[in-house]
Structure 1
């Protein structure tokens, strides 16, 4: 079939060779052509005809054909001439979003560092996995763009995988191996060191009075009082520092875990020029709705299976607001997509503190807020790596584990092929004389790591921590027995409530129980 080259048909890079469309959902396509012109789109037996508006914009909706590889999305004009033909696949499309732990590239993953060939050789064992990297764009003109791949669809290869999201890589492999006939498309849209307030729209922030005051109003107050000359000078100095060969090597080694906590702290004291503090302002990745405007908007409407979300570290100082923020974000994205898609959340990993004042002090509250959001919203699900994490590093290096937990969650809540793939959480609690029982959902067979459990379980009776108690597990129940559980006693059970600790309770799929507090 001949294709007539046309400078008038313009499509977002999302609609290019190698694209993966979502099966079993309407496929939305948009672009520009000559004003008031008819365009005919076809994808196998699905056909749509649209007329462009006065600015040449068009939107079309196609019925998704049966999943599979190597299909043609064809655009024709009113005369039947082919304007463009794109090679696409139809399968499952997942967005990978959040901050640095989702941004964390495969080259930093511990398994990749130990044996890169082994980790990437499995790409040859099945169909190709496609990915699209949304440019890390802070400003509309692309200034400070931090993309690692051009803005187009790619096939994961041994060469480019190291610069792709480690979680996305392992998650994509597990999905592919589960069903090799279904093409997998991964849209990577993350940005390290960012608050969720940057990822949702101005309208959504303004709708919630608490969010409006904390983010929109406070940002405007900052702008009204700041010196732009001083701000630009700081940014220029930071940019100059970032170009130092020493800086690139230093931070690569930090993320890889090659610099220990003591050495990193010494560097923070003695080589401050290597550490660029985040400066809020009109060129900050953390300004309210900035990443929504320059990243999220570019893919809104592209039909997806769901979202993997790993974020919250940069919101720990505002932990009391995090449930407001995350609920607003999920609802905002769903409203813009016009789709109640599944949203899978990774709880913040165990963490103590990092160089300077980077602390996990408020992580327990963020984890609690993440659990509240999953409990409140439909099709929002929770998992965790509370058995992993690092006391002196904000980036756990075993991203294969995090990806596997996301995979189990998807297999349970989205694909409906396994049971109890989500993190277990407290379902009920009852007291009987000298013992109490706590039951857990997403669990048929509770297991305990007694060594860790003794460290992370705290029993408080009438305001005092007690040491005299026994714990046993059976089925989905944990039973705690103590002679101090008297009829009129006030009892609290705290489980894994420290910023850094490792899990002591798991379900039959080895998924850690969600940290909890129970009051009786």
Structure 2
């Protein structure tokens, strides 16, 4: 009897990537050769050690397609996958701000009323932390459309990106959610990439955490913690948290859950180095995709000074896994003050590392959301804006439109008597503010820090103030953990954080 098993990504209603080889693989028993038929092509795949792999020539965008797989010389297919579209597919990856469910978005009531777009398909990878873990995840592991039951618990940035980009490019768009809240970048990277200095710190910290731990105790505590994590009462309580709580309610919530089981670091933890690379990402590759949308870095704030190297290595790791120079569009961390006892004071360092990657790693682009942060919540609620900015960036950097799609970036400045002129790229016709003064802008000279109140805006920013001396002036903009940026370019994209010494 023939038994053919495909990766979970191959299901009815799926999307395949246009203009790239279509890669199909899986397991087979009771057959020595398979024939895969798709779009007028028939490709043979030998079964070796119970596994097979084949490539179908690249196709243009289409809909209403089907895959048929025949075992040996059979005339009837053993597997038929129907309602297939061909278009552009993006992986929505990262931690909780990418995982962030659509139902929590500030615009959810508006989004629910949008006319359905059947050219958008979504898929959530199962969040499995260790081999053999059994979790009931009804919203994961299948392709779906808008208004299906899985929709409201899909990535809000990923979906709103698709909704913004699909009408522009005019082909089907697929979004694959491969994300998990709280995860550090090292969890999504192969172990060989973490052997390099200084990234070996993640493996060293993991090994140190295990040194004094008892294996059986870790197993027992992990089982108990996962039972709690997946319990209905905890899910309901966490849902209330994700909708948003003020600081007082958060403190009450922490007191009420103080005795909850804690998942110990170890082989059952989804934060461990390379864990999700092995358990989630490798199950997806080498499924052809257009690119990656990345929103992560909060959990790397403790090692923010090396996040440029961490993220650069992650990008290289993923590109190596796919054997494809995938574009990476990512989100600079939003302003954040305090949430559940943790703070955003280390975020400026991560933001600097993220900007370095955008300037130095080819095929990457970064959006700024320094105007969308929330002091009392690490999860900004306006994810629709995040998705739309990623789509705007994709239109310029990936699809080649001549549009203003990037945030203004500081390019230099000079003194003109008691004035300082600052130059920016990506301004459009002129900069503008929302309000009466520029927030989070300070000038420091001779150890004295002052708010700059007098200014003029065009493509430059002209600051007017009374200099204390001829000493250099340091200008700082949006360099705090939490701030409210209100300086924008013509496309309403916020100016990115910067610091500069003007002589």
Distance of 1:448 and 1:490 partners within structure 2? 27
Distance of 1:133 and 1:260 partners within structure 2? 30
| 1:133–1:147 CA contact under 8 A, matched in 2 | no
| 2:270–2:276 CA contact under 8 A, matched in 1 | yes
Displacement of 1:162 in angstroms is 1.1
CA 1:379–1:155: 2 relative to 1, 3 Å: same
Hey, what does 1:59 align to over in structure 2? 53
Hey, what does 1:300 align to over in structure 2? 285
Pairing of 1:94-133 with structure 2 (within 5 A):
94-112=90-108, 115=109, 118-124=110-116, 126-133=117-124
RMSD: 2.4
Distance of 2:205 and 2:153 partners within structure 1? 36
Hey, what does 2:320 align to over in structure 1? 335
1:71 equivalent in alignment to 2:71: no
Displacement of 1:373 in angstroms is 0.8
| Cα-to-partner distance string for 1:198-245 (whole Å, 9 max, x where unaligned) | 011101111x21111x11122123223212344345435534544666
Hey, what does 1:159 align to over in structure 2? 149
What TM-score does the superposition give when structure 2 sets the normalisation length? Answer: 0.92
Hey, what does 2:258 align to over in structure 1? 272
Hey, what does 1:194 align to over in structure 2? 183
Displacement of 1:93 in angstroms is 0.4
SS at match of 1:370: helix
| 1:435–1:485 CA contact under 8 A, matched in 2 | no
Displacement of 1:334 in angstroms is 0.4
Hey, what does 1:235 align to over in structure 2? 222
CA 1:468–1:7: 2 relative to 1, 3 Å: closer
1:371 equivalent in alignment to 2:359: no
Hey, what does 1:25 align to over in structure 2? 20
The structure 2 residue matched to 1:478, chosen from 446, 454, 461, is 461
Distance of 1:377 and 1:329 partners within structure 2? 11
SS at match of 2:365: strand
Distance of 1:455 and 1:150 partners within structure 2? 42
SS at match of 2:4: coil
The structure 2 residue matched to 1:222, chosen from 209, 223, 226, is 209
| Cα-to-partner distance string for 1:128-155 (whole Å, 9 max, x where unaligned) | 4211211001012134x47342422223
Displacement of 1:34 in angstroms is 5.2
SS at match of 1:295: helix
Hey, what does 2:486 align to over in structure 1? 504
Gaps of 5+ in 1: 1-5
Displacement of 1:110 in angstroms is 2.2
1:515 equivalent in alignment to 2:503: no
Distance of 1:132 and 1:404 partners within structure 2? 19
Hey, what does 1:319 align to over in structure 2? 304
| 1:471–1:481 CA contact under 8 A, matched in 2 | yes
| 1:16–1:152 CA contact under 8 A, matched in 2 | yes
Identify which range, 362-371 or 407-416, moves more after superposition. 407-416
Distance of 1:185 and 1:514 partners within structure 2? 30
Distance of 1:367 and 1:453 partners within structure 2? 24
| 2:226–2:263 CA contact under 8 A, matched in 1 | no
CA 1:226–1:296: 2 relative to 1, 3 Å: same
SS at match of 2:359: helix
Displacement of 1:64 in angstroms is 2.0
Hey, what does 1:37 align to over in structure 2? 32
Hey, what does 1:176 align to over in structure 2? 166
Hey, what does 1:360 align to over in structure 2? 344
Hey, what does 1:288 align to over in structure 2? 273
SS at match of 2:113: helix
| Cα-to-partner distance string for 1:234-286 (whole Å, 9 max, x where unaligned) | 435534544666533322111112x3211211332455135x65532111111
Distance of 2:388 and 2:362 partners within structure 1? 23
Displacement of 1:365 in angstroms is 0.8
| 1:123–1:158 CA contact under 8 A, matched in 2 | no
Hey, what does 1:415 align to over in structure 2? 399
1:209 equivalent in alignment to 2:197: yes
CA 1:60–1:123: 2 relative to 1, 3 Å: farther
Hey, what does 2:375 align to over in structure 1? 391
The structure 1 residue matched to 2:128, chosen from 137, 151, 160, is 137
Gaps of 5+ in 2: none
What TM-score does the superposition give when structure 1 sets the normalisation length? Answer: 0.89
SS at match of 2:276: helix
| 1:492–1:517 CA contact under 8 A, matched in 2 | yes
1:85 equivalent in alignment to 2:80: yes
| 1:409–1:421 CA contact under 8 A, matched in 2 | yes
Distance of 1:85 and 1:240 partners within structure 2? 37
Distance of 1:373 and 1:480 partners within structure 2? 30
